[in-house]
Amino acid sequence: MSRLTQSEVEAFNSWATSYSGHEIAAQRHYNGWLVYLNKVMQPGMPFEDHRDAAVWLRRKADEQSVATG
């Protein structure tokens, strides 16, 4: 994922990229960040920080890559 500054992420209120063959994205929702893996919103509480969302998404993408391949 390309490195965005805090102000860039806050200005856009969302980000999306590819990681290990998966599409990952996060979108600001009220005071948190919702996460999407391969265009599917993932259940659970929103993340407080976009960096925490990115770490979680990369981990889930890695898990899916191992499970399918």
Cα 19 to Cα 57: distance, rounded to the nearest angstrom: 9
pTM for the model: 0.80
Dist. CA 57–CA 69, nearest whole Å: 18
Residue 31's pLDDT band, with cuts at 50, 70 and 90, is: confident
- Please answer whether residues 53 and 41 qualify as being in contact, where contact means their C-beta atoms are separated by less than 8 angstroms: no
**Secondary element (H or E) of residue 47:** none
Contact 41, 35 (CB under 8 A): yes
Please, which pLDDT band fits residue 38 given cuts at 50, 70 and 90? very high
pLDDT at 10 over 90: no
Mean pLDDT of the chain: 87
- Assign residue 9 a region (left: φ > 0; alpha: ψ between -120 and 50; beta: otherwise): alpha
